[in-house]
């Protein structure tokens, strides 16, 4: 198993946790204020949460794809790209969490 795979899986898991927190706050804000802005943020969070949850499913649960991703069949350049996307997303979500809770 490659380092890139591990970093991508961990980042996707962290993204799911961060998005659950953000969707909870944004959903609560929408319920309280009924603003379109809060609804838009909550919907954005739900869609991004779905994408990251699906990535985790592929990486960890799906019998065919998880075995393929864990093997050396995936070129390292592809893993570096996937890992970079997940890590950049984690950085962006950390910033959103910081400004949301501030």
Digit-coded pLDDT (tens) for 65-78? 888 888 878 888 98
User: What b-and-e string marks burial along 79-102, b requiring 16 or more CB atoms within 10 Å of the CB?
Assistant: beebbeebbebbeebeebbeeeee
Angle at 9 between CA 82 and CA 72, to 5 degrees: 65
Those residues whose C-beta lies under 8 Å from the C-beta of residue 13, and which sit 6 or more positions away, are 56
* pTM of this structure: 0.92
How many other C-beta atoms are found inside a 10 Å radius of the C-beta of residue 54?
12
Give me the chain's average pLDDT, please: 93
Contact 45, 15 (CB under 8 A): no
Digit-coded pLDDT (tens) for 29-61? 999 999 999 999 999 999 999 999 999 999 999
- pLDDT at residue number 5: 84
In the chain, where are the structural domains located? 3-101
- pLDDT at residue number 1: 57
């Amino acid at each position: 198993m490659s380092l890139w795979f591990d970093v991508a899986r961990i980042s996707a898991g962290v993204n799911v946790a961060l998005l659950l927190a953000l969707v909870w706050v944004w959903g609560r804000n929408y319920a309280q204020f009924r603003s379109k802005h809060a609804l838009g943020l909550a919907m954005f969070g739900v869609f991004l949460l779905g994408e990251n949850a699906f990535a985790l499913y592929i990486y960890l649960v799906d019998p065919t794809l998880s075995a393929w991703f864990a093997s050396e069949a995936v070129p390292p350049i592809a893993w570096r790209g996937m890992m970079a996307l997940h890590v950049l997303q984690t950085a962006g979500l950390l910033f959103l969490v910081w400004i949301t809770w501030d």
